[in-house]
Amino acid sequence: MLARPERFFEDRFGLTSSAMERLLGSQLAGRVDHADLFLEYRISEELTLEEGAVKKASRHVSQGAGIRAQSGERTGYAHTDDLALPNLEEAARQARAIADQTSGSTAVAVGSGRPHDLYTLAEPPVSAALDRKVALLLEMDRTARALDPRVKQVIASLGSEDVIVLIVTPSGYAVGDVRPLTRLNVTVIVDRRDGPDRRTEGEQRLEDKEQRTVRDRRRAHPGRFPDTDEPPE
């Protein structure tokens, strides 16, 4: 199951709901018209298999926080890559300094929305075992080669990403999202009589569709289209 954003940032960075409310309340509440805190944590990885061997394996982690303070028509933004509470407090002071400090507003308490799972997964893609991912790429390689004896080269890649975001306001309202993403891509090089042909599955489907369109138009309008494999312009 995917972790809730509130629990994730609390467990990893110690940013409890009370700590974030104190952060926004002490630095921004009553001093600006509106403010919010945006947190993001992103993990991305990529595996590339070529000629039956792993040619590339990468994994990147990025994180950051942004604070927005708005007063009248003025808006202040501040950003930090360090999610430690002292850095967030400094970002809040900088955002407040940019915005107009003369006007204030009363915070209205709004409850957080009921959590619901938009991506029902047993585990995030980035958490899957590496050997399972390599096995999937090897299976794609074997499948592509078994489809046509003219296949000379197969390049299979698997990209995975997990993005966790959380937005909090001084009133205590919080909304978050966990967005898993996986992309599987297979490129096949076929040895044809007129030279190697490199194409993805999508390109092959498009060419097949164009050829079917030409054949259908020839049958519907005999003699109108030339006897060529090229689609009409």
Instruction: Give the pLDDT confidence of 45-84 residue by residue, as tens digits.
Output: 999 999 889 999 999 999 999 988 887 778 888 888 999 8
Q: Rounded CA gap, 79 and 96, in Å?
A: 12
Over range 121-138, report the average pLDDT.
88
Spell out a b/e string for 2-35, using b for 16 or more CB atoms within 10 Å of the CB, else e: bebbbebbbeebebeeeebbebbbebbbebbbbb
Nearest to 9 by CA among 76, 61, 65, 60: 65
The residue that leads in pLDDT, 20 or 223, is: 20
pLDDT value at residue 112: 46
- Give the distance, in angstroms, between the CA of residue 173 and the centroid of all CA atoms in the same chain: 24
pLDDT at 233: 46
Average pLDDT, whole number, for the chain? 78
Q: How confident is the model at residue 104 (pLDDT cuts 50, 70, 90)?
A: very low
What pLDDT is stored for residue 194 in this prediction?
A: 60
Residue written as token pair 């995917």:
2
Is 110's pLDDT higher than 60? Answer: no
Q: pTM for this one?
A: 0.67
Measured CA to CA, the distance from residue 189 to residue 198 in angstroms comes to 4
**Per-residue pLDDT tens digits for 180-201:** 899 999 999 988 766 555 555 5
| Pairwise CA distance, residues 116 & 7, whole Å | 15
Alpha carbons 226 and 233: distance in angstroms, whole number = 12
Tokens of 231: 């689609």
Nearest to 66 by CA among 41, 90, 37: 37
Using pLDDT thresholds of 50, 70 and 90, give the confidence band for residue 4: confident
**pLDDT tens profile 20-47:** 888 877 666 666 777 889 999 999 999 9
pLDDT band at 106 (very low <50, low <70, confident <90, very high): very low
Q: Are strands 195-200 and 174-192 parallel, antiparallel or unpaired?
A: antiparallel
**DSSP structural state of residue 29:** T
Which pLDDT score, from 0 to 100, does residue 116 have? 63
Fold of 5-192: PmbA/TldD fold (3.30.2290)
Whether 35 and 68 have beta carbons less than 8 Å apart is answered as yes
pLDDT of residue 159: 94
